[in-house]
Amino acid sequence: MLTTEHLKQFAEDGYFVYPGCLSERAVRNLRAETDICAADREDPGLVREKDGDTVRGMHGIHLRNEMMSKLCRHPTLLALAKGVLGEDVYVHQFKLNIKAAFVGDVWEWHQDMTFYHREDEVPHPHFLTIAVLLDDVTEFNGPLLLIPGSHKEGFKDSNKHTIEAYDAESSWLSNTTAKLRYTVEHDTLRRLVHTHGLAAPKGKAGDIIVFHANVFHGSGVNMSPFDRRVAFISYNSVKNPPQPTRAQRPEFLCARNCAALQPCHDEVLM
Amino acid sequence: MLTTEHLKQFAEDGYFVYPGCLSERAVRNLRAETDICAADREDPGLVREKDGDTVRGMHGIHLRNEMMSKLCRHPTLLALAKGVLGEDVYVHQFKLNIKAAFVGDVWEWHQDMTFYHREDEVPHPHFLTIAVLLDDVTEFNGPLLLIPGSHKEGFKDSNKHTIEAYDAESSWLSNTTAKLRYTVEHDTLRRLVHTHGLAAPKGKAGDIIVFHANVFHGSGVNMSPFDRRVAFISYNSVKNPPQPTRAQRPEFLCARNCAALQPCHDEVLM
């Protein structure tokens, strides 16, 4: 389970990899469920790639899908989230990113805190995201890119863009497509990378990557014939809920229920 | 120089890496010259990225720039090209691809033969390209992706697209931007990768990669703060010149002078 080595790496690098978190059977079940979810054309939290067809990501499925809800409460995931944050947690946002073979597009460099703070008014970066790999991730299918240690420099200013095409369609879509609403100056990124370097952790299906709310990350295109399906589960401390001063984003992006989660030992994920 | 091991790898994989081909001084000189070339806003062979500003590539500079012309005749490069093809060679096309930090966009999967055969009417795949790395190439700045051994399956059908936006601007531009005029079916690529796998050779500035006209290759985006400048020099056998039945592409894409090159020992590249 969680070791002092993990905590040290989280403090130092802003992330750690935890191999073999999910069993082969759990991965198989989650992949099958992902396909079912992706086929739901009525899903309000579904975003497509620029081709207008390929599914890019699905938001908030844990609110409607039992297996995804259980994944959030997987004993190991929940123990890691609570252990690292030192608090009870709830899931602020859940997304399944597909990064489809040949088509999966980039995620620009960002800090999760930018979105959860500026859009949802989460006060502190006292949360983390667990990336659950549902496929083997290699250098070829768009691995997560991170600037290790960038979380130590805090929350950076970012530029808010109005992206007409996306905004015309939906006000939240521009936070979930290949063109992000918030971007950070290249000079800031350049300085961070020169100080801290770059990392692109790979892994097997069933491995997880735990990363800090302030760590800069992104990912490139997927030019391979292999999907790179990853569930990103953002756990927030129950002591750090949104303090909204205006209308909130839809529930599939910003949780309404901020009660402490309890582990679920269902054998479908064991 | 060229070894039987190189020839074996070229026959088997369709490419080989030749480390340390150019001296540090040569690399330094070539980088400085690349900057000078990129500043020439009148260059007819210059292509920009989608932002309309960042230089993506420059074609045919060897026709107008002395140092780039000498690079084509660098004794080692020329000996490798002639040694692999077993014939005298000329440069059919020369391009400097910048793959700029943060902005450099993809090159879709393609075979060079598609363009040189279908656009320029080069009869046979009896040519090769040498990629000269002018920057260190890592997993982060958009390395060349190859399907090793894919050249053994010959020349694949490809789909010709009319890309209105690009075509309105220029008839040749669509072969040099992130959206290629010719693309290959995903099923074909999927089958090739399942048979042959994928490779992404990295290297230091001054290393070169020699690859076959029929080997499938491409490259992803560059999300790093490090440019990935590479000169791609396509050497064709003098016995395999274009046999045009219609108007030829501009000289900066399709050579007019197909005479055998002689090595140049200028110390600027030694």
Q: How confident is the model at residue B175 (pLDDT cuts 50, 70, 90)?
A: low
Are B106 and A145 in contact (CB < 8 Å)? no
Question: What are the chain B neighbours of A193 within 8 Å (beta carbons)?
Answer: 224-225
Task: Kindly report the nearest CA distance between residue B17 and chain A, in angstroms.
Answer: 19
Q: How confident is the model at residue A165 (pLDDT cuts 50, 70, 90)?
A: very low
Are A140 and B145 in contact (CB < 8 Å)? yes
CA distance B242 to B236: 10
CA distance A127 to B237: 61
What are the two backbone dihedrals, phi and then psi, of residue A7, each rounded to the nearest 5 degrees?
-65, -40
Is residue B249 within 8 A of residue B121, CB to CB? The reply is no
**Can you give the three-state secondary structure of chain A, one letter per residue?**
CCCHHHHHHHHHHCEEEECCCCCHHHHHHHHHHHHHHHCCCCCCCEEECCCCCCEEEEECHHHCCHHHHHHHCCHHHHHHHHHHHCCCEEEEEEEEECCCCCCCCCEEEECHHHHHHHCCCCCCCCEEEEEEECCCECCCCCCEEECCCHHHHCCCCCEECCCHHHHHHCCCHHHCCCCCCEECCHHHHHHHHHHHCCECCCECCCCEEEEECCCCEEECCCCCCCCCCEEEEEEEECCCCCCCCCCCCCCCCCCCCCCCCCCCCCHHHC
Closest Cβ opposite residue A190 in set B106, B139, B225: B225
Task: Kindly report the nearest CA distance between residue A200 and chain B, in angstroms.
Answer: 8
Is residue B235 within 8 A of residue B90, CB to CB? The reply is yes
Task: Kindly report the nearest CA distance between residue B138 and chain A, in angstroms.
Answer: 11
Mutate to test the interface with B, among A53, A139, A192 (most CBs of B within 10 A): A139
Residue A181 pLDDT: 77
Indicate the pTM of the whole model. Answer: 0.94
Contacts (Cβ under 8 Å, ≥6 apart) of B17: B201, B203, B207, B208, B209, B210
Backbone angle region of B111, left / alpha / beta, with phi > 0 → left and psi within -120 to 50 → alpha = beta
| B88-B254-B31 Cα angle (round to 5) | 80
Q: Evaluate if residue A172 carries a pLDDT over 70.
A: no
Task: Kindly report the nearest CA distance between residue B221 and chain A, in angstroms.
Answer: 6
Q: How confident is the model at residue A173 (pLDDT cuts 50, 70, 90)?
A: low
Tokens 């064709």 belong to which residue? Answer: B236
Tokens 């950070």 belong to which residue? Answer: A184
Question: What are the chain B neighbours of A145 within 8 Å (beta carbons)?
Answer: 140, 223
Residue A205 pLDDT: 98
Task: Kindly report the nearest CA distance between residue A196 and chain B, in angstroms.
Answer: 12
Q: Evaluate if residue B97 carries a pLDDT over 90.
A: yes
- Looking at residues B123-145, what average pLDDT do you find? 98
- Looking at residues B92-100, what average pLDDT do you find? 97
Task: Kindly report the nearest CA distance between residue B262 and chain A, in angstroms.
Answer: 39
- Looking at residues A3-13, what average pLDDT do you find? 98
Residue A178 pLDDT: 66
Are A186 and B139 in contact (CB < 8 Å)? no
* pLDDT tens, position by position, A30-65: 999 999 999 988 888 999 998 889 999 999 999 999
Q: Evaluate if residue A170 carries a pLDDT over 70.
A: no
Task: Kindly report the nearest CA distance between residue A189 and chain B, in angstroms.
Answer: 7
Are A220 and B220 in contact (CB < 8 Å)? yes
Are B194 and A225 in contact (CB < 8 Å)? yes
Are A139 and B200 in contact (CB < 8 Å)? yes
Question: What are the chain B neighbours of A139 within 8 Å (beta carbons)?
Answer: 139, 200
Q: Evaluate if residue A245 carries a pLDDT over 50.
A: yes
Report the CATH number at residue B178.
2.60.120.620
Closest Cβ opposite residue A106 in set B145, B218, B223: B223
Name the average pLDDT for chain A. Answer: 93
Closest Cβ opposite residue B220 in set A101, A190, A223: A223
Is residue A182 within 8 A of residue A110, CB to CB? The reply is yes
Domain that holds residue B264: 4-269
Complex ipTM? 0.93
Q: Which residue of A has its CA nearest to B188?
A: A225
Are B101 and A223 in contact (CB < 8 Å)? no
Q: Which residue of A has its CA nearest to B107?
A: A223
Domain count, chain A: 1
Among chain B, residues having any CB pair with chain A shorter than 8 Å are 101-102, 106, 108-109, 139-140, 142, 145, 186, 189-190, 193-194, 198, 200, 218, 220-221, 223-225
CA distance B50 to B59: 17
Q: Which residue of A has its CA nearest to B139?
A: A139
Question: What are the chain A neighbours of B101 within 8 Å (beta carbons)?
Answer: 186, 190
* pLDDT tens, position by position, B190-245: 999 999 999 999 999 999 999 999 999 999 999 999 999 999 999 999 999 999 99
Task: Kindly report the nearest CA distance between residue A107 and chain B, in angstroms.
Answer: 10
Among chain A, residues having any CB pair with chain B shorter than 8 Å are 101-102, 106, 108-109, 139-140, 142, 145, 186, 189-190, 193-194, 198, 200, 218, 220-221, 223-225
Q: How confident is the model at residue A196 (pLDDT cuts 50, 70, 90)?
A: very high
Question: What are the chain A neighbours of B102 within 8 Å (beta carbons)?
Answer: 186, 189
Question: What are the chain A neighbours of B200 within 8 Å (beta carbons)?
Answer: 139-140
Q: Evaluate if residue B166 carries a pLDDT over 50.
A: no
Q: Which residue of A has its CA nearest to B189?
A: A225
Residue A162 pLDDT: 59
- Looking at residues A142-158, what average pLDDT do you find? 93
